[in-house]
């Protein structure tokens, strides 16, 4: 069945069956088109991210995964600031001949994503466009400290909350035909199709009050370090690669470029954060005691460069590539 056969009213009724309603809502979602909440005083973070079918729907990815991923991208941005999502808004643009079951999958994916972060869809807009486009806005309350991208200081340690490279392998497999062994393929596709936002990590970092800067790594590890570098006016010396052994083995066996795979991927929603060395152990413990991953990868340097120690050599990363350290 096509959307055009149902019309907007029926579609909205259907959406209301697919999503949970926030018990704290002060307006009746579905009957009203906006929503209202009583908020307590505090610092709130606002973010928006969209996905378009032509750009973001990987081969083999379902609409449900695409929609959920848009929620995850928003939740990751909030997590990086130390904020817990209070609600999501979703604008969903669809071609009129779009099929009804995929429509349902989009809203299941949105609601599933919101539920994973203990939150709700607060409202939305539904309309026609030439391709599928899902735009999500999120707002959330800062747990304790608002963490920004500026504040990293020379001597701080830099750490991440997950391993990198799986997503790049997934892109290479899906878009360039790279063949992957089953075990590697499974990890890679899970990273690309079902990413998770580091929300618990972000809230713990906010609570610690000692983190000097943070960013989520959705633009890729190099680009995200570069954002932190430019905003904090510092550089990074990366002495340990945040990568799993089985990925390293696979990459080396195939003769692939490990640095490129780790640093120049994207859509891996880990946190990258900086913390003074004296506070490191406290932060590490607070994450580990909750069963969360945390990997120290290096330190903040004064020069605004991103330098990586790899195979006992120093290399400097640049936009779009890397080169051996020359000075």
HSE value, Cβ hemisphere, 13 Å, CA-based, for 305: 15
Q: Which is nearer to a copy of itself, 65 or 137 (CB)?
A: 137
Q: Which is nearer to a copy of itself, 25 or 62 (CB)?
A: 25
Token pair 């848009």: residue: 70
Residues engaged in binding a copy of itself (CB under 8 A) = 26-28, 31-50, 52, 54-55, 77-78, 80-81, 83, 87, 89-91, 93, 122-125, 127-131, 133, 135, 137, 139, 142, 146, 148-150, 227, 230-231
In the sheet with 133-142, reading across from the earlier edge strand, the strands are 121-128, 83-94, 133-142
Q: Two tokens at 55?
A: 């750009």
Name the minimum Å distance from CB 215 to a copy of itself. Answer: 9
Q: Which is nearer to a copy of itself, 1 or 31 (CB)?
A: 31
CA–CA dist 150, 156 (Å, integer): 13
CA–CA dist 137, 246 (Å, integer): 37
- CA nearest 154: which of 213, 236, 273, 226? 236
Q: Which is nearer to a copy of itself, 167 or 213 (CB)?
A: 213
Name the minimum Å distance from CB 240 to a copy of itself. Answer: 27
Q: Are 266 and 172 in contact (CB under 8 A)?
A: no
Name the helix (H) or strand (E) containing 86.
strand 83-94
Token pair 């009129």: residue: 96
Name the minimum Å distance from CB 268 to a copy of itself. Answer: 16
Name the minimum Å distance from CB 180 to a copy of itself. Answer: 27
CA–CA dist 110, 103 (Å, integer): 11
Name the minimum Å distance from CB 57 to a copy of itself. Answer: 12
Q: Are 135 and 90 in contact (CB under 8 A)?
A: yes
Name the minimum Å distance from CB 32 to a copy of itself. Answer: 5
Cβ neighbours of residue 53 closer than 8 Å, sequence gap 6 or more: 66, 131, 132, 133
HSE value, Cβ hemisphere, 13 Å, CA-based, for 286: 17
Q: Which is nearer to a copy of itself, 77 or 156 (CB)?
A: 77
Q: Which is nearer to a copy of itself, 81 or 299 (CB)?
A: 81
Name the minimum Å distance from CB 152 to a copy of itself. Answer: 13
Q: Which is nearer to a copy of itself, 81 or 270 (CB)?
A: 81
Q: Are 200 and 287 in contact (CB under 8 A)?
A: no
Q: Are 231 and 122 in contact (CB under 8 A)?
A: no
Q: Are 129 and 93 in contact (CB under 8 A)?
A: yes
Name the minimum Å distance from CB 82 to a copy of itself. Answer: 10
Name the minimum Å distance from CB 184 to a copy of itself. Answer: 29
Distances (CA, A) of 119 to 64, 139, 202, 258, 265: 17, 10, 16, 37, 29
Q: Which is nearer to a copy of itself, 42 or 277 (CB)?
A: 42
Q: Which is nearer to a copy of itself, 169 or 205 (CB)?
A: 205
């Amino acid at each position: 069945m096509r959307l055009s056969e149902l019309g907007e009213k029926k579609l909205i009724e259907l959406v209301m069956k697919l999503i949970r309603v926030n018990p704290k809502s002060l307006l009746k979602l579905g009957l009203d088109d906006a929503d209202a909440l009583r908020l307590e005083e505090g610092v709130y973070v606002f973010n928006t991210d969209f996905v378009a079918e032509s750009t973001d729907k990987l081969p083999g990815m379902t609409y449900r995964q695409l929609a959920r991923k848009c929620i995850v991208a928003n939740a990751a941005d909030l997590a990086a600031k130390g904020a817990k999502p209070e609600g999501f808004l979703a604008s969903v643009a669809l071609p009129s001949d779009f099929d009804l079951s995929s429509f349902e999958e989009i809203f299941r994916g949105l609601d599933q994503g919101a539920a994973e972060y203990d939150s709700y869809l607060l409202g939305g807009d539904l309309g026609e466009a030439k391709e599928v486009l899902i735009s999500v806005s999120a707002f959330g309350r800062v747990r304790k400290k608002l963490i920004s991208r500026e504040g990293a200081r020379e001597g701080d340690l830099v750490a991440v909350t997950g391993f990198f490279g799986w997503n790049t392998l997934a892109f290479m497999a899906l878009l360039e035909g790279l063949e992957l062994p089953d075990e590697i393929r499974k990890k890679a596709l899970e990273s690309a199709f079902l990413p998770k936002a580091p929300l618990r990590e972000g809230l713990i970092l906010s609570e610690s009050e000692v983190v000097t800067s943070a960013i989520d790594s959705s633009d890729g590890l190099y680009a995200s370090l570069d954002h932190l570098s430019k905003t904090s006016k510092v550089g990074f010396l990366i002495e340990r690669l945040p990568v799993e052994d089985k990925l390293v083995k696979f990459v080396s066996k195939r003769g692939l470029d490990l640095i490129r795979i780790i640093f120049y991927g994207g859509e891996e929603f880990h946190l990258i954060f900086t913390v003074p060395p004296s506070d490191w152990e406290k932060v590490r413990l607070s994450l580990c005691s909750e069963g969360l991953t945390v990997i120290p990868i290096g330190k903040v340097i004064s020069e605004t460069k991103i330098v990586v120690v790899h195979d006992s050599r120093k290399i400097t990363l640049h936009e779009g590539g890397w080169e051996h350290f020359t000075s």
